[in-house]
Structure 1
């Protein structure tokens, strides 16, 4: 019997696979030339699509081509039904697909691009989600290789599908940060293709890159050690006109653009998303430990995979916004899951990246455009860690002040304004009652509290700033520069965050 999926004896049958095979078995006689000439009804058409999907993925190459020819002859909906089935298989069962079925899935996806099938962008989005960060296994690297080859080969089509283009760029910028840290000759060709694709997109389609928003900068800063990206950095700073986008004249314009939650989904497989959402919507306080242990064993089971923690934190902050009902219930809070994920970090580099991901929207926060839910987990983690886990509060505040000083020295006023606005909005909206829980806490070091008070002062005067007193921001920046804070006290590599 033909199969699509690897299944264990104890597993229940997969309903989608069963449905596809059932249609294939019933219509097998109609799937060989000469094909029926009658026009199928709607139900017959749906049945035929299921049968053809199964045949394409499960039968040998020469028969798969026959099935695709059959599909071309009967299609009446722009391939929408066929592609929708492929998306469902990819999202639900990609990691269980047998190797021949995976190869065929990439082959038929390429063919759907050629015919501009309805919904093919959703299929490519789903496939990108199946490339796992921090995974150097053969199957995962194969998928990364095949997808970047597909995007390179379909360049002209990609130019018309700007959202797919930006999704592919986001994915491969993130993957490059992992792949370049592994000195393995087996990865050389993949890295060459990834660099070539990303640089081509950035150089020739920068208007589409802007769709990503501020997280484009966060991803690029991880790649400045690669010569091609170092050159792009120089142009972003000194010669932005080279990108050919008249309205883009300074990198600060990207800072103001919030990244859509869809991009954060790209770096989580559907199973990761499902399990994280379950943890954040169903697991009660006091019961979370066993689920966290399971999650870590499943998705963070090797040192290389800890780079995923930053993807999880960005997802929690920016793509999972619980309802008021969940917030008011006894379900474990987002800030607590973020705190646990921070403790999962083994290396200083990954921990620093995770903290940057946690605070990234703070640096550029604007109440008019940004969502307060993106910055809520960080403040609640700091507040609720006092007094029992005050080291966490201390570490996060130190890191935030380091970002204020070093992230972009030339545009420090933007960073200070963003952080101060974050504090102000969090108090104004009642996320916390006051900053005094931090500024008056004796077990937080005097140095850190002194620095926090400077931000507290600007927080108290934000109404003046909003009416045009920008001189106050510049005065605060000057005070911050003169504050008695010795940055070398902080256990973080400053150079890592001074990206300019």
Structure 2
């Protein structure tokens, strides 16, 4: 009896979502690029598969002048309050406490407590990508917090990635982490949304180089395969993200990623080649240049 009611509820949810997307797409469009990320996980459901095909090949069906191609959605940053709605109020309160008050060295017991409360039941891994998006886009610490010894967002995300036991959910969590990189536009996007991935890669090199390695590999996988028809949009977004983070001082340079011997030569070469493909090139100071800057 319970399973029948659950099936009925699922059917009602599907019908409601499809109706909203088809009849009120102008409102749904405001969700922005994360609408694409969420819908692509539902294409195994026939109704959503048909919707996806129409979005790709017949956008005029949605009768919204602002939507002619997926790139129109890609360009629209998802407002942070939408991402907050993807987790419960209790989870939001506890995450904000962790990222505002918990000091380095004390985070483990709080993380264990959070995991036991929210990530210890079947299918709880499905929550992790939404938590990652919340941390990246909805919780931006003040400069005072950033300069204190409060646990950093990048470290919490590193822990969340380790909580993924299955590769599918880990891939979704990494996609959530890098999603704004793919379409980054300095005019509309916030550097704080892309900062955690960069700092996680850079700060993991010394002790956890495998994390840096897998994240760099995944980023290149996204650039090459996420949307092959719109690859130039994604290349431009990723290059812009790298460039802005150097110019804004998130990292002093990209030299740790392009020169560290702890990272495979193939990946270092691929990153250097990718960065130099931009029209102006992304600045990668040499070790000598960095030393000179530090002396100044």
Deviation at 1:456, TM superposition (A): 1.8
The number of residue pairs the alignment matches comes to 281
Residue 184 of structure 2 corresponds to 365
Residue 296 of structure 1 corresponds to 115
Deviation at 1:450, TM superposition (A): 1.7
Q: How does 1:63-142 map to 2 (within 5 A)?
A: none
Match 2:268 to one of 433, 445, 449: 449
TM-score for both structures, normalised by structure 1: 0.55
Contact 1:424 1:459 in 2 (8 A): no
Contact 1:310 1:354 in 2 (8 A): yes
Deviation at 1:460, TM superposition (A): 7.1
Q: How does 1:16-415 map to 2 (within 5 A)?
A: 185-415=4-234
Higher relative contact order (CA 8 A, sep 6+): 2
* Aligned mates of 2:243, 2:253 — CA distance in 1: 9
Deviation at 1:462, TM superposition (A): 5.2
Residue 61 of structure 1 corresponds to none
Contact 1:421 1:462 in 2 (8 A): no
Contact 2:60 2:68 in 1 (8 A): yes
Name stretches of at least 5 consecutive residues in structure 2 with no aligned partner.
283-296
SS of the residue 1:222 aligns to: helix
Deviation by residue 1:357-398 (Cα, 9 ceiling, x = unmatched): 000000000000000000000000000001200000001000
Deviation at 1:230, TM superposition (A): 1.0
For the pair shown, which has the larger CA radius of gyration, 1 or 2?
Answer: 1
* Aligned mates of 2:78, 2:38 — CA distance in 1: 12
Name stretches of at least 5 consecutive residues in structure 1 with no aligned partner.
1-137, 139-183, 464-500
SS of the residue 1:273 aligns to: helix
Deviation at 1:268, TM superposition (A): 1.7
**CA 1:268–1:247 in structure 2 vs 1: closer, same or farther (change >3 Å)?**
closer
Deviation at 1:186, TM superposition (A): 4.4
Deviation at 1:246, TM superposition (A): 2.0
